Amino acid sequence: MLSGKNALITGASRGIGRAIAIKFAENGAFVGINYNKSEDKARDVLKIIRDRGGDGILLKGDVSSSKDCKEVVERFIDERKSIDILVLNAGIYERGSFLEIDEERWDRVISTNLSSCYHVLRFAIPYIGNGGSIIFISSQLAFKGSKHGADYAASKAGMLGLMRSLALELAPRIRVNAVAPGTIDTDIISNYSQEMREKRISEIPLRRLGKPEDVANACLFLASDLSSYVTGEVINVNGGLYIH
Protein backbone atom coordinates (compact mmCIF):
# COMPACT_ATOMS: atom_id res chain seq x y z
CA MET A 1 0.00 0.00 0.00
CA LEU A 2 2.97 2.35 0.54
CA SER A 3 5.45 0.95 -1.93
CA GLY A 4 8.14 3.48 -2.77
CA LYS A 5 6.95 6.02 -0.20
CA ASN A 6 9.18 7.85 2.29
CA ALA A 7 7.68 8.15 5.77
CA LEU A 8 9.06 10.20 8.66
CA ILE A 9 7.62 9.36 12.08
CA THR A 10 8.36 11.26 15.29
CA GLY A 11 8.55 9.34 18.56
CA ALA A 12 8.88 6.02 16.73
CA SER A 13 11.00 4.02 19.16
CA ARG A 14 8.15 2.64 21.27
CA GLY A 15 4.40 2.33 21.72
CA ILE A 16 2.18 3.72 18.98
CA GLY A 17 5.07 5.22 16.99
CA ARG A 18 6.88 1.88 16.94
CA ALA A 19 3.77 0.11 15.64
CA ILE A 20 3.28 2.74 12.92
CA ALA A 21 6.89 2.48 11.77
CA ILE A 22 6.72 -1.32 11.52
CA LYS A 23 3.30 -1.26 9.80
CA PHE A 24 4.42 1.29 7.22
CA ALA A 25 7.63 -0.62 6.49
CA GLU A 26 5.67 -3.87 6.08
CA ASN A 27 3.64 -2.06 3.44
CA GLY A 28 6.64 -0.88 1.44
CA ALA A 29 7.62 2.49 2.93
CA PHE A 30 11.15 3.58 3.78
CA VAL A 31 10.81 4.75 7.39
CA GLY A 32 12.55 7.54 9.30
CA ILE A 33 12.54 6.46 12.95
CA ASN A 34 12.84 9.52 15.16
CA TYR A 35 13.71 9.03 18.83
CA ASN A 36 15.24 11.05 21.63
CA LYS A 37 16.57 8.92 24.50
CA SER A 38 15.51 5.35 23.66
CA GLU A 39 18.29 4.44 21.23
CA ASP A 40 18.26 0.72 22.04
CA LYS A 41 14.52 0.57 21.39
CA ALA A 42 14.88 2.55 18.18
CA ARG A 43 17.57 0.15 16.97
CA ASP A 44 15.26 -2.75 17.82
CA VAL A 45 12.52 -1.21 15.64
CA LEU A 46 14.94 -0.84 12.73
CA LYS A 47 16.12 -4.45 13.19
CA ILE A 48 12.54 -5.74 13.08
CA ILE A 49 11.89 -3.72 9.92
CA ARG A 50 15.01 -5.03 8.18
CA ASP A 51 14.36 -8.60 9.30
CA ARG A 52 10.99 -8.33 7.55
CA GLY A 53 12.50 -7.07 4.31
CA GLY A 54 12.01 -3.33 4.82
CA ASP A 55 14.41 -0.50 5.49
CA GLY A 56 14.70 2.75 7.37
CA ILE A 57 17.00 5.18 9.14
CA LEU A 58 17.45 6.19 12.78
CA LEU A 59 16.97 9.90 13.45
CA LYS A 60 17.96 10.99 16.94
CA GLY A 61 16.52 14.33 18.00
CA ASP A 62 14.51 16.07 20.71
CA VAL A 63 11.37 17.31 18.94
CA SER A 64 10.87 20.04 21.53
CA SER A 65 14.01 21.66 20.08
CA SER A 66 13.68 23.62 16.84
CA LYS A 67 17.35 22.96 16.09
CA ASP A 68 16.94 19.20 16.52
CA CYS A 69 13.81 19.15 14.35
CA LYS A 70 15.67 20.92 11.55
CA GLU A 71 18.51 18.42 11.78
CA VAL A 72 16.14 15.43 11.81
CA VAL A 73 14.38 16.62 8.66
CA GLU A 74 17.66 17.47 6.93
CA ARG A 75 19.16 14.04 7.69
CA PHE A 76 16.07 12.34 6.29
CA ILE A 77 16.15 14.50 3.16
CA ASP A 78 19.87 13.82 2.68
CA GLU A 79 18.98 10.13 2.68
CA ARG A 80 15.69 10.13 0.69
CA LYS A 81 15.37 13.56 -1.02
CA SER A 82 11.63 13.90 -0.25
CA ILE A 83 8.89 13.13 2.28
CA ASP A 84 5.63 11.45 1.25
CA ILE A 85 4.19 10.76 4.70
CA LEU A 86 4.77 12.65 7.93
CA VAL A 87 3.42 11.27 11.22
CA LEU A 88 3.51 13.63 14.21
CA ASN A 89 3.38 11.16 17.08
CA ALA A 90 5.95 12.23 19.71
CA GLY A 91 4.37 13.07 23.03
CA ILE A 92 4.54 12.81 26.80
CA TYR A 93 1.88 12.47 29.50
CA GLU A 94 2.39 13.37 33.16
CA ARG A 95 -0.41 12.55 35.57
CA GLY A 96 -1.53 15.19 38.07
CA SER A 97 -4.17 17.79 38.89
CA PHE A 98 -4.15 21.24 37.30
CA LEU A 99 -2.77 22.96 40.42
CA GLU A 100 0.11 20.47 40.48
CA ILE A 101 1.23 21.65 37.04
CA ASP A 102 4.08 24.12 37.48
CA GLU A 103 5.41 26.26 34.65
CA GLU A 104 8.26 23.89 33.93
CA ARG A 105 5.93 20.93 33.45
CA TRP A 106 3.46 22.97 31.38
CA ASP A 107 6.22 24.15 29.06
CA ARG A 108 7.66 20.63 28.80
CA VAL A 109 4.36 19.02 27.82
CA ILE A 110 3.27 21.76 25.41
CA SER A 111 6.75 21.90 23.82
CA THR A 112 6.94 18.15 23.32
CA ASN A 113 3.36 17.50 22.24
CA LEU A 114 2.31 20.65 20.35
CA SER A 115 5.19 23.00 19.59
CA SER A 116 7.12 20.04 18.20
CA CYS A 117 4.50 19.74 15.47
CA TYR A 118 5.11 23.35 14.46
CA HIS A 119 8.87 22.87 14.39
CA VAL A 120 8.80 19.64 12.37
CA LEU A 121 6.15 20.91 9.95
CA ARG A 122 7.87 24.16 9.03
CA PHE A 123 11.02 22.29 8.06
CA ALA A 124 9.28 19.28 6.47
CA ILE A 125 6.45 20.82 4.40
CA PRO A 126 8.74 22.21 1.67
CA TYR A 127 9.86 18.62 0.98
CA ILE A 128 6.37 17.05 0.87
CA GLY A 129 5.25 16.63 -2.73
CA ASN A 130 1.85 16.44 -4.38
CA GLY A 131 -0.25 13.65 -2.89
CA GLY A 132 1.58 13.77 0.42
CA SER A 133 -0.08 12.89 3.72
CA ILE A 134 0.39 14.45 7.16
CA ILE A 135 -1.03 12.57 10.15
CA PHE A 136 -1.32 13.95 13.68
CA ILE A 137 -1.61 11.52 16.61
CA SER A 138 -3.99 13.30 18.97
CA SER A 139 -6.10 11.78 21.77
CA GLN A 140 -9.67 11.31 22.93
CA LEU A 141 -8.74 13.67 25.76
CA ALA A 142 -8.65 16.45 23.16
CA PHE A 143 -12.46 16.14 23.14
CA LYS A 144 -13.38 15.19 26.70
CA GLY A 145 -10.61 16.80 28.73
CA SER A 146 -8.76 15.19 31.61
CA LYS A 147 -8.90 15.72 35.35
CA HIS A 148 -5.43 14.16 35.61
CA GLY A 149 -3.66 15.90 32.71
CA ALA A 150 -5.03 19.29 31.66
CA ASP A 151 -1.75 20.17 29.95
CA TYR A 152 -1.83 16.97 27.89
CA ALA A 153 -5.47 17.48 26.89
CA ALA A 154 -4.75 21.08 25.90
CA SER A 155 -1.78 20.04 23.77
CA LYS A 156 -3.78 17.35 21.97
CA ALA A 157 -6.71 19.71 21.34
CA GLY A 158 -4.25 22.24 19.95
CA MET A 159 -2.99 19.61 17.52
CA LEU A 160 -6.48 19.27 16.07
CA GLY A 161 -6.77 23.01 15.52
CA LEU A 162 -3.44 23.00 13.72
CA MET A 163 -4.44 19.93 11.69
CA ARG A 164 -7.70 21.48 10.48
CA SER A 165 -5.99 24.74 9.57
CA LEU A 166 -3.29 22.98 7.55
CA ALA A 167 -5.88 20.78 5.84
CA LEU A 168 -7.42 23.96 4.44
CA GLU A 169 -4.13 25.66 3.66
CA LEU A 170 -2.29 22.76 2.03
CA ALA A 171 -5.16 21.35 -0.06
CA PRO A 172 -5.24 20.07 -2.72
CA ARG A 173 -1.50 19.30 -2.70
CA ILE A 174 -1.25 17.61 0.69
CA ARG A 175 -3.88 15.82 2.79
CA VAL A 176 -3.82 16.47 6.54
CA ASN A 177 -5.69 14.29 9.07
CA ALA A 178 -5.51 13.00 12.63
CA VAL A 179 -6.02 9.84 14.61
CA ALA A 180 -7.38 10.15 18.15
CA PRO A 181 -6.64 7.00 20.18
CA GLY A 182 -8.56 6.02 23.28
CA THR A 183 -6.98 3.85 25.97
CA ILE A 184 -4.11 2.06 24.24
CA ASP A 185 -2.01 -0.55 26.03
CA THR A 186 1.33 1.30 26.01
CA ASP A 187 3.83 2.70 28.52
CA ILE A 188 1.44 5.59 29.27
CA ILE A 189 -0.88 3.25 31.20
CA SER A 190 1.85 1.03 32.60
CA ASN A 191 1.11 2.35 36.10
CA TYR A 192 -2.50 1.16 35.95
CA SER A 193 -3.31 -1.42 38.61
CA GLN A 194 -5.09 -4.58 37.50
CA GLU A 195 -8.25 -3.18 39.07
CA MET A 196 -7.93 0.04 37.04
CA ARG A 197 -7.37 -1.92 33.84
CA GLU A 198 -10.41 -4.11 34.43
CA LYS A 199 -12.56 -1.09 35.25
CA ARG A 200 -11.52 0.68 32.05
CA ILE A 201 -12.12 -2.45 29.96
CA SER A 202 -15.62 -2.74 31.44
CA GLU A 203 -16.35 0.81 30.22
CA ILE A 204 -15.28 0.12 26.64
CA PRO A 205 -18.04 -1.28 24.40
CA LEU A 206 -15.58 -3.51 22.52
CA ARG A 207 -14.42 -4.85 25.91
CA ARG A 208 -10.67 -4.59 25.47
CA LEU A 209 -7.87 -2.06 25.59
CA GLY A 210 -6.60 -0.82 22.27
CA LYS A 211 -3.37 -2.14 20.82
CA PRO A 212 -0.76 0.08 19.18
CA GLU A 213 -1.43 -1.88 15.97
CA ASP A 214 -5.05 -0.64 16.02
CA VAL A 215 -3.78 2.92 15.72
CA ALA A 216 -1.19 1.92 13.14
CA ASN A 217 -3.91 0.42 10.94
CA ALA A 218 -5.84 3.70 10.95
CA CYS A 219 -2.63 5.55 10.06
CA LEU A 220 -1.97 3.14 7.21
CA PHE A 221 -5.37 4.03 5.74
CA LEU A 222 -4.67 7.76 6.02
CA ALA A 223 -1.19 7.38 4.56
CA SER A 224 -2.34 5.35 1.58
CA ASP A 225 -4.29 6.18 -1.57
CA LEU A 226 -7.34 4.52 -0.01
CA SER A 227 -7.96 7.84 1.76
CA SER A 228 -7.29 10.04 -1.26
CA TYR A 229 -10.58 11.94 -0.71
CA VAL A 230 -10.14 12.40 3.05
CA THR A 231 -8.63 15.54 4.59
CA GLY A 232 -9.26 17.57 7.73
CA GLU A 233 -10.73 14.55 9.51
CA VAL A 234 -10.17 12.75 12.81
CA ILE A 235 -10.39 8.97 13.02
CA ASN A 236 -11.31 7.90 16.55
CA VAL A 237 -9.70 4.60 17.59
CA ASN A 238 -11.26 4.06 20.99
CA GLY A 239 -13.34 0.89 20.99
CA GLY A 240 -16.51 2.95 21.31
CA LEU A 241 -15.48 4.47 24.65
CA TYR A 242 -16.36 7.95 23.41
CA ILE A 243 -18.76 8.16 20.46
CA HIS A 244 -18.77 11.55 18.78
Q: CA-CA distances (angstroms) from residue 14 to 30, 89, 170, 186?
A: 18, 11, 30, 8
Q: How far apart are CA 244 and CA 240, in angstroms?
A: 9
- β-sheet bridge partners, residue 210: 184
Clarify whether 242 is annotated catalytic. no
Indicate which residue of 35, 152, 192, 229 is catalytic: 152
- Assign 9 to helix, strand or coil: strand
Phi-psi domain of 85 (left: phi exceeds 0; alpha: psi -120 through 50; beta: other): beta
Q: How far apart are CA 17 and CA 94, in angstroms?
A: 18
Which residues are tagged catalytic? 152
